[in-house]
A and B are shown apart, each in its own frame.
Chain A
Amino acid sequence: MASSAAYPDADENLEAIITRIEQKSRKIETLLKQLKPVEALKTALEGSPLKTRDERCKSANWIVVHRAMMAIRDVDAMFNSLDPEYYDILMKYLYRGLSTGDRPTCDQCLKIHEKLTEKAGLGCILRSLADTVNTV
C-alpha cells in the first residue's frame, strides 16, 4: 500500500510547508554532492504537500523533486533501491513533469515512466490520474 502514509496534514499552515520544503532542498543538495541521487529522490518525494490547494507549495515541492529526478542517471539502478511505497507519488510527479513540455524534463520523465509502468503496472497510472484529492 502506497498512499496516505506520512503525508502532512491538510491544515498545516503554508509557511510551515514552505520552510519544510526549503529544508528538504538543502538536504537534497547534500545528498547529491555525496552522489546519492536515489536517496535525494526519496527525500524529495517524502512529505509532499498533497492535500493543500496552494500552488506555491505545489510548485516549490515540484522544483525539489525535479532537481532530484534530473540527477538520476541509471534508471534501472534507481528502481533497485526505490521501495514500492514511492511508486504512486513518483508517477504523479512524472505526469506533472510531462505537462511542462520542457524537452529534457520530458525525456527523463518518459524514461522513468517506461520502467515505472513495468514495475508498478497500469493500476499505478490510474491512481495518479484518478486521484483528485492528493495532487502534486
Chain B
Amino acid sequence: MAATAAVAIHQFAECITCHAWSPDLSMIAFCPNNNEVHIYKFFTDKWEKLHVLSKHDQIVSGIDWSKSSNKIVSVSHDRNSYVWTQERADWVPTLVILKLNRAALCVQWSPKENKFAVGSGAKSVCICYYEQENNWWISKVIRKRHESSVTSLAWHPNNIYIATTSTDGKCRVFSTFIKGVDTRGSQSSTSTDSKFGEQIAQLDLSSTWSFGVKWSPSGKTLAFAGHNSMIYFIDEVETAPAAQNLALRDLPLRDVLFVSERTVIGVGFDCNPMIFVADETGLWSFVRFLDERKATPSTSKASQLSEALGKLYGQSKQGTSSDTVEPSKPRGGAHENCITCIVPLRKGSDGTTKRFSTSGLDGKIVVWDLENDVSIAK
C-alpha cells in the first residue's frame, strides 16, 4: 500500500478561515479566525511567524497571494480590501474601497493578475483593477443578478469570465471586460466581446446554498457544490450548459479543486477530501476518500507510547513559545473539523496538480501529495 496522501500537518491556530501560499511556496499566509493575517515561513524543521498584517477591523474572510507580482490581497467582514506589497522586510497595505454595505466574503486574483474579484454579502461582486495615473485601485461592482451572498469566485483562464456561487443556490458566469485593462480580440472566439457585468450563464441546479466554484484547467468544465450534499459538473457553460448532478452519500462539500481536467478533489463537512473522476465518456463519479482513516494494525504499543510522549513534549515546547509550531505526524484523520479551503501547490510536468493544501475549522493546514497515491495515477 502506498504511503499516506497527507504529507504534512501543521496546527497553526484554533481555527483558520482561509490561507494562501507565497509564489515560491516557502511562506504561508492565513487568518486565524480574527482580524489579522499571519505569515509563516518554514525554516529547516519548523514554521516561524514572520509577519502579522493587522489592518482589518473584523474577521479576514479571504486571502490570495499573486504568483508573478508577489502581492497579497485580503478581504474582510469590515467591507474593505487591502493589497499588500512587500517593501524590504515589511508588507505595506494599500486600501481598496469596495463600496460595499455588507461583508466581503472571498477574493481571487485573475489569471493575469491585473484584476481581482471580491464576492460579498451585499449580493454583488467587485472587480478591482489598478489605475496607473491615479496610483489607486478602482472597484467596479456587478450589482445585478445575485439574489443573495456570493460565497465563492473562480476566474476562467481567459481572464475575462468569472464564475460565482451564491446562497440563492445558483451558479453564474459574468464577463468582467474592462476597457483599458483587457484587450479585445486578443483571445480567439467571441468570448471577449461581452460587456462588463454581462451575464453569460446562470445555472439553476442547487435548490439551496452553493459553494466552492472552480473551472477546470482548460476552462471547459465548471464544478461547484451544493449544501444539499450534491456536486455539479457543467460542460459547455457558455453555449449550451450540460450538467451532471452527483448526489453524495455523505455530508456536503464546501470547496472543490480540479487537479486535472478529469479529476476533482472536494472538501467539506466530512473532514476528509473526496476524489471525483470522470471516465472516458466524461461521466463523473465519486471514487473514494483521500485520507485513509482505518487504524493501522502495525502500530505497536511502543510506538503509540512514544507518539503520546512526543505529543506531550511538543505541547510543552509549544507553550513556551507560541510563535513556533512543531510539525506533527498524521494521527487518525488529518482534519478534525470541517475543511473550508483547498489551494493548489505544485504542478507536475503534465500540468496537473500533484500537491495541494487544505485548511478548516480545526486550525490545521494539511499538505496532500497525490503522487504518493497509486489509485489516482492514471
- Residues of A whose CB lies within 8 Å of any CB of B are 1-4, 88, 120-124, 126-127, 130-134
Please determine whether A1 and B227 come into contact, CB atoms closer than 8 angstroms.
Answer: no
CB-CB under 8 A for A126 and B227, given A1-B245, A88-B247: yes
Q: A124-B249, A130-B226 are in contact. List 8 more A-B contacts (CB 8 A).
A: A1-B245, A121-B248, A126-B228, A127-B229, A130-B209, A131-B208, A131-B228, A134-B207
Main SS at interface, chain B? loop
How distant is the Cα of A57 from the Cα of B229 in the complex, in angstroms? 28
Q: Which residues does chain B contribute within 8 Å of A127, judged by CB atoms?
A: 228-230, 247
CB-CB under 8 A for A130 and B208, given A122-B229, A123-B229: yes
Is B119 interfacial (CB-CB < 8 Å)? no
Closest to B209 in A: A130
How distant is the Cα of A120 from the Cα of B252 in the complex, in angstroms? 14
CB-CB under 8 A for A121 and B249, given A130-B208, A131-B208, A134-B207: yes
**Nearest Cβ distance between residue A134 and chain B, in whole angstroms?**
7
How distant is the Cα of A3 from the Cα of B227 in the complex, in angstroms? 15
Q: Which residues does chain A contribute within 8 Å of B229, judged by CB atoms?
A: 122-124, 126-127, 130
Is B251 interfacial (CB-CB < 8 Å)? yes
Please determine whether B249 and A133 come into contact, CB atoms closer than 8 angstroms.
Answer: no
**Nearest Cβ distance between residue B210 and chain A, in whole angstroms?**
11
Q: Which residues does chain A contribute within 8 Å of B228, judged by CB atoms?
A: 126-127, 130-131
Listed from nearest, the 5 A-B pairs whose CB atoms lie closest are A121-B249, A123-B229, A130-B228, A133-B207, A130-B208
Please determine whether B227 and A130 come into contact, CB atoms closer than 8 angstroms.
Answer: yes
**Nearest Cβ distance between residue A86 and chain B, in whole angstroms?**
13
How distant is the Cα of A133 from the Cα of B228 in the complex, in angstroms? 12
**Nearest Cβ distance between residue A127 and chain B, in whole angstroms?**
5
CB-CB under 8 A for A123 and B249, given A133-B207, A134-B207: yes
Q: Which residues does chain B contribute within 8 Å of A3, judged by CB atoms?
A: 245, 247
Q: Pick the contact of A1 from B209, B247, B249 — CB < 8 Å? A: B247
**Nearest Cβ distance between residue B214 and chain A, in whole angstroms?**
20
Interface residues of B in 43-65 (CB under 8 A from A): none
Q: Which residues does chain B contribute within 8 Å of A88, judged by CB atoms?
A: 247
Q: Which residues does chain A contribute within 8 Å of B252, judged by CB atoms?
A: 123, 126
**Nearest Cβ distance between residue A49 and chain B, in whole angstroms?**
16
Q: Which residues does chain B contribute within 8 Å of A131, judged by CB atoms?
A: 207-208, 228
**Nearest Cβ distance between residue B311 and chain A, in whole angstroms?**
31
Most buried by A among B207, B226, B246, B251: B207
Count contacts on B: residues with CB < 8 A to the other chain. 16
Most buried by B among A1, A123, A133: A123
How distant is the Cα of A123 from the Cα of B229 in the complex, in angstroms? 5
Please determine whether B245 and A120 come into contact, CB atoms closer than 8 angstroms.
Answer: no
Is B279 interfacial (CB-CB < 8 Å)? no
Q: Which residues does chain B contribute within 8 Å of A123, judged by CB atoms?
A: 229, 247-252
How distant is the Cα of A134 from the Cα of B169 in the complex, in angstroms? 14
Please determine whether A2 and B247 come into contact, CB atoms closer than 8 angstroms.
Answer: yes
Closest to A131 in B: B207
Q: Which residues does chain A contribute within 8 Å of B247, judged by CB atoms?
A: 1-3, 88, 123-124, 127
CB-CB under 8 A for A122 and B250, given A1-B245, A127-B228, A127-B229: yes
**Nearest Cβ distance between residue B47 and chain A, in whole angstroms?**
35
How distant is the Cα of A130 from the Cα of B247 in the complex, in angstroms? 13
Most buried by B among A120, A122, A132: A122
Please determine whether B251 and A132 come into contact, CB atoms closer than 8 angstroms.
Answer: no
Closest to A129 in B: B228
How distant is the Cα of A121 from the Cα of B248 in the complex, in angstroms? 8
How distant is the Cα of A83 from the Cα of B252 in the complex, in angstroms? 23
How distant is the Cα of A73 from the Cα of B250 in the complex, in angstroms? 28
How distant is the Cα of A122 from the Cα of B227 in the complex, in angstroms? 12
Q: Which residues does chain A contribute within 8 Å of B226, judged by CB atoms?
A: 130
How distant is the Cα of A124 from the Cα of B248 in the complex, in angstroms? 8
Q: Which residues does chain A contribute within 8 Å of B227, judged by CB atoms?
A: 126, 130
CB-CB under 8 A for A132 and B207, given A122-B229, A127-B228: yes
Please determine whether A1 and B246 come into contact, CB atoms closer than 8 angstroms.
Answer: yes
Q: Which residues does chain A contribute within 8 Å of B245, judged by CB atoms?
A: 1, 3-4
**Nearest Cβ distance between residue B255 and chain A, in whole angstroms?**
17
